[in-house]
């Protein structure tokens, strides 16, 4: 189970980063913590459950997950599509919200270094330009952690607004 990208050569298919999400294949129970109001100085969190099913795509150059997110006011489905570019050794990650399936979020892009995956993009939230950061950490055989944070100041400071703790289903 790779915990980080290694500094192999561009033709080293297994060490260039393309297998960094292989740990995630399978079925997961998810514990969510979501900030109630983003970029508003809020400190109140909602906690709720969910599930996630992950499988590979594109012969190992991608993967997709299907999520059930059990919000306090009702469950919905969502999906994530991830693809790996061997030329740049970076992943692109797109989020698709089942409540609005005609829209795909701006992709975050990045890679794993020293056991942490950092993925960034520029976006807009409530009419304000922001930077978005996804962090993947604590990847083990039966658990993993994902965090989303927003920045209004170009990445100088971050507000974490969603945390997902994954526990592999038996």
What are the extents of the domains in the chain? 22-168
Report the SS3 class of residue 73: coil
- Quick one: average pLDDT of 74-82? 97
Report the SS3 class of residue 26: strand
Q: 77: which 2 tokens?
A: 């489905």
What is the pLDDT, as a whole number, of residue 158? Answer: 98
What is the pLDDT, as a whole number, of residue 14? Answer: 62
Topology of 22-168 in CATH? Lipocalin (2.40.128)
pLDDT at 2 over 80: no
Share above pLDDT 70 across residues of the chain, in percent, rounded to a whole number:
92
What is the pLDDT, as a whole number, of residue 108? Answer: 98
Give the model's confidence band at 15: pLDDT under 50 very low, under 70 low, under 90 confident, else very high. confident
What is the C-alpha to C-alpha distance for residues 18 and 55, in angstroms, rounded to an integer?
Answer: 14
pLDDT at 7 over 80: no
Report the SS3 class of residue 60: helix
Average per-residue pLDDT for the chain: 92
What is the C-alpha to C-alpha distance for residues 45 and 35, in angstroms, rounded to an integer?
Answer: 4
- Quick one: average pLDDT of 36-52? 97
Q: Which residue has the higher pLDDT, 6 or 51?
A: 51
What is the C-alpha to C-alpha distance for residues 36 and 139, in angstroms, rounded to an integer?
Answer: 26
Contacts 24+ apart (CB under 8 A), 50-55: 50/75, 50/164, 51/27, 51/169, 52/27, 52/28, 52/166, 53/26, 53/27, 53/28, 54/21, 54/24, 54/25, 54/26, 54/27, 54/28, 55/25
- Quick one: average pLDDT of 12-18? 74
The distance between the two most distant Cα atoms of the chain, rounded to a whole number of Å, is 49
What is the pLDDT, as a whole number, of residue 129? Answer: 97
Give the model's confidence band at 118: pLDDT under 50 very low, under 70 low, under 90 confident, else very high. very high
């Amino acid at each position: 189970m790779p915990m980080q990208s290694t500094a192999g050569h561009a033709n080293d298919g297994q060490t260039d980063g393309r297998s960094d999400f292989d740990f995630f294949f399978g079925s997961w129970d998810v514990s969510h913590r979501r900030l109630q109001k983003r970029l508003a100085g809020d400190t109140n969190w909602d906690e709720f459950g969910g599930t996630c099913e992950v499988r590979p795509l594109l012969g190992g150059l991608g993967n997709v997950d299907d999520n059930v997110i059990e919000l306090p006011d009702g469950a919905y489905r969502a999906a994530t599509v991830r693809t790996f570019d061997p030329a740049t050794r970076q992943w692109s990650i797109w989020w698709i919200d089942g409540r609005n399936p005609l829209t795909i979020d701006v992709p975050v892009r990045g890679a794993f270094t020293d056991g942490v995956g950092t993925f960034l993009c520029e976006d807009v939230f409530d009419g304000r330009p922001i930077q978005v950061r996804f962090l993947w950490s604590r990847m083990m055989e039966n658990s993993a952690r994902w965090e989303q944070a927003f920045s209004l100041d170009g990445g100088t400071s971050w507000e974490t607004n969603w945390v997902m703790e994954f526990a592999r289903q038996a």
